[in-house]
Structure 1
Amino acid sequence: SLPVSRWYHENTSEWTLDYPPLFAWFEFGLSHVAQHFDRNMLVVENLNYTSPSTVLFQRLSVIFTDVVFIYAVRECCRCVKEQKGSRDLLNRPSFILAVLLLWNFGLLIVDHIHFQYNGFLFGFLLLSVAKHLKGALLFSILLNLKHIYLYVGPAYGIYLLRSYCFTQNNKDGSVRWSSFSLLRLLTLGSIVVSVCVLSIGPFIAMGQLPQVLSRLFPFKRGLCHAYWAPNIWALYNVLDKVLAMLGVRLKLLNEAELPRASMTGGLVQEFEHSVLPSISPPITFICTLLSILVKLTFLSCRLSMKPAVASIWRRPRGARGFLRCLVLCALGSFMFGWHVHEKAILIPVLPLSILAVESREDAGIFLLLTTTGHYSLFPLLFTPAELPIKVVLMLIFTIYSFTALRKLHSGQLSLLHRLEVIYLLGLVAVAIACEIVFPLSPWQQRFPFLPLLTTSVYCSVGVCYSFLRLYVSLLREQEKPKQL
């Protein structure tokens, strides 16, 4: 109902357009279908409008666009190596992968209950792993649909440059510098630039690029979302809060001089830490970059520490090596990024599903990260009627994941260590306390955000641990001796 020139300026609602232009055109296309269901839903000033026809259209539109995701899952399953002598369909790696992706608990509740359009975006992500030129095109489209995938851009850039623009030495797999093809580099570049020009070009022509960028990168929203994503900053915030409380109690700090504890107020805004240094957007950018590039020499002095993207440059190892780097980049950005949403945990979880059916080590990491990450999404469904739905759905997916992967990697040691199992069992205690006990306690009025705080902090431990375990696994794989 508005001209294109006003799309990124409209602010009648708090839900402004903060996605790249391709997604705006996607929504524009949906609106032409929506008008046949209920035209009132398209009135910009009609805030908080709802009707049975509106809800029906929204749900059907998500289901329809999930066709892209279903097709991508089919293509991924076709690439999975089947075990020799495996005739039982239910125990085949391809079937297990299909269930892990199509029935992913987090994606199911985020898209079909909480309501978003992540399914078809993940479809583009999974398809982009397939081929070089096709992958460059699909990832460029994906990036112009949702810019959060910029975090995994380094994995794509290095992998495509290394695998498509160079050829490798057949003896040791090292890069042959003399084989560099400028023509192939220009081909890749032209694909990326063409998609970006088609997407952002009209807004550049209208002189609206600064306005578009201000919507895509809203740094004034603060370090954390209203509900903290379970990452390193959740632990940082809690540590700051604990130090402030101890400082006041020990009379080392004056409570009146401390910044107001707005970080636990459930609001999207900027805030200052009380004791620890406050975090700015450049700091989160540097930390994210370091989490991907820097040598983690403190992990083990016996490992030759190679950055994630450097490892796929030195020895790409095909799609599997690229996938592991992609997961690591996505998880690193989730841990250290600015104003990360809890739903972003799905970006590393879904590609990790592919690795989980092929590697015992990756299967263990998948179970730990998925269980922790999925439980961290529980606060998105907060009404009493949704409690049994989310509990049952997560139990079904979690039990299947553990049993199927354990049987698939049978004959070997347990997929998880004892302490990891104890940690995951602790989620049951957290769930009972936050979902059942706390709503009935007198603390509900005084500390309304305590369940969110508890969930975020506890899950942060598991996510951070999964990141470190994934990184160590990647680096150890690079150091495995060559088979004669």
Structure 2
Amino acid sequence: MYRDLIIFSAFIKLLLYPAYRSTDFEVHRNWLAITHSLPLSEWYYESRSEWTLDYPPFFAWFEWFLSQFASLWDKNMLNVDNINYASDETIYFQRTTVIITELVLLYALKKFMMHSENKNISYILVASIFLNPGLLMVHFQYNGFLYGIFLLSLTYAKEGKDLLCGIVFAVLLNFKHIFLYLAPAYFVYLLRHYCFKDPGSQDFGNFLHSKFIILGLSVISIFSLSFGPFLYMGQLGQVFSRLFPFKRGLCHAYWAPNFWALYSFMDRILIIVFRQLGWGLNDTATSSVTRGLVGDVSFAVLPQISAKTTFIITVVFQMASLAKLWRYPNFKNFIGSTILCGYSSFLFGWHVHEKAVLLIMIPFGLIATESLEHFRTFIILSISGLFSLFPLLFKATETIIKISIFVLWIVLTCLGLSRTFSTYINPKVEQRQNR
């Protein structure tokens, strides 16, 4: 069955080879050129293109690895001066490498579902996540590969291999730092479940210092391997300035559908109201708009929001799930806390990208059949989350394609999973309630 899924997925993506290419295409083409053509000391300084390298070092090395094969396709794509270069060979290379690396996601999904009681449900869940339209809409970011590493860390936690879970997640953070949104859940779970002899006990006398040291040294070793060369060259500050560009402003160029989008929208409405009432406003603030690359946003009426404020609000909303995870450090609460930490960060974080909604959708798909409430929430989340990504494919020629794929995915997922409730899930829930 999984072979058929691979063939079907590859066939669909092959048909989309000539389709629209987002700016992510040029981003990663430029990163291929930077890592291939320039010495390591210049990777995080190169700025001939506006799409500068702003992912952690492991991903930079991943681009370097891909560039070794890219040179066999079209050497011109590896020229740093070839801004916006898009030969057919370059397009085919990037789409092909995305498809191949997405097999990491399929492996992780298959491994996660390996011991599931119902194989049909497992296969439907695997297919729904692997074929998620959101991964198609942000095709060139190698998200399938990255989410594969993420789900692999969850799989190790499910199998009780906590140390491996922590190591894989540390590796993931050095590929893409957006997964820091989920780090609080990992920290609490690993501390309580791995570093305590009896995870259910609140007694710190059960704290195992040896395991804490092993886990800490493992994580430190991975980060040292990643950032060590740049620390040695005295470039750590430059690397961090690329990874955390706080000057980009509160909202991304394309507003993510979160609290700050509503906040910004309300400020625009209040500007109109104040003008109608003849009340004076700051001209600079009223002309300020969202800037995705550089510059901050000034609000004309509502209070200004700092990065520190968004951090505090995010942590506050994460605390409920983290407190429950601390008291009951089991895998069910861990994956739930992971989802809620991602959701809190998506709603209240600083400069949140619209694509961050996948941080909620992907892991939620793993627990979509836990109950009827989970299933309903998953469908609502999927519909709203995928719909919010539609503007990423803004050309008229892609409208029919994105709507067709979206509707087909929703229908097949709903039909495939809804049938399981009458034959498998509902009786199982009733058995639990009768106990």
**Fold match (TM-score > 0.5):** yes
Q: Is 2:275 the partner of 1:239?
A: no
Report the equivalent of 1:126: 151
Q: Is 2:313 the partner of 1:248?
A: no
Report the equivalent of 1:19: 55
Pick from 104, 109, 120: which aligns with 2:132?
A: 104
Report the equivalent of 2:180: 150
Larger fraction in helix: 2
Report the equivalent of 1:291: 317
Report the equivalent of 1:181: 208
Report the equivalent of 1:66: 102
The count of aligned residue pairs is 389
Checking the alignment, whether the CA contact within 8 Å between 1:128 and 1:134 is kept in structure 2 is yes
Cα drift, residue 177 of structure 1:
2.9
Deviates more, 1:239-248 or 1:10-19: 239-248
Distance 2:384 2:180 in 1: 24
Report the equivalent of 1:312: 325
Distance 1:258 1:207 in 2: 38
3-state DSSP class of the match of 2:114? helix
Q: What letter is aligned with 1:59?
A: R
Runs of 4+ in 1 over 4 A off after TM superposition: 255-258, 264-268, 411-414, 481-484
1:94/1:256 Cα in 2 relative to 1: closer, same or farther (>3 Å)?
A: closer
TM-score, L = length of structure 2 = 0.85
Cα drift, residue 184 of structure 1:
0.5
Cα drift, residue 199 of structure 1:
0.2
Checking the alignment, whether the CA contact within 8 Å between 1:93 and 1:358 is kept in structure 2 is no
Distance 2:105 2:424 in 1: 33
Cα drift, residue 160 of structure 1:
0.6
Cα drift, residue 411 of structure 1:
8.2
Report the equivalent of 1:116: 141
Q: What letter is aligned with 2:253?
A: A
Q: What letter is aligned with 2:172?
A: L
Q: Is 2:374 the partner of 1:362?
A: yes
3-state DSSP class of the match of 2:117? coil
Report the equivalent of 1:390: 402
Report the equivalent of 1:444: none
Report the equivalent of 1:222: 249
Distance 1:194 1:79 in 2: 32
Checking the alignment, whether the CA contact within 8 Å between 2:248 and 2:291 is kept in structure 1 is no
1:256/1:110 Cα in 2 relative to 1: closer, same or farther (>3 Å)?
A: closer
1:312/1:267 Cα in 2 relative to 1: closer, same or farther (>3 Å)?
A: closer
Q: What letter is aligned with 1:230?
A: P
Cα drift, residue 261 of structure 1:
3.3
Cα drift, residue 370 of structure 1:
1.2
1:412/1:31 Cα in 2 relative to 1: closer, same or farther (>3 Å)?
A: closer
3-state DSSP class of the match of 1:361? helix
Report the equivalent of 2:297: 271
Cα drift, residue 268 of structure 1:
5.1
Checking the alignment, whether the CA contact within 8 Å between 2:53 and 2:242 is kept in structure 1 is yes
Cα drift, residue 132 of structure 1:
0.4
Report the equivalent of 1:44: 80
Pick from 195, 198, 206: which aligns with 1:165?
A: 195
Checking the alignment, whether the CA contact within 8 Å between 1:232 and 1:335 is kept in structure 2 is yes
Report the equivalent of 2:20: none
Cα drift, residue 232 of structure 1:
0.3
**Unmatched 5+ residue regions in structure 1?**
83-88, 294-306, 415-480
3-state DSSP class of the match of 1:230? coil
**Unmatched 5+ residue regions in structure 2?**
1-36, 427-431
Checking the alignment, whether the CA contact within 8 Å between 1:167 and 1:176 is kept in structure 2 is no
Q: What letter is aligned with 2:325?
A: I
Checking the alignment, whether the CA contact within 8 Å between 1:161 and 1:185 is kept in structure 2 is yes
Distance 1:155 1:399 in 2: 32
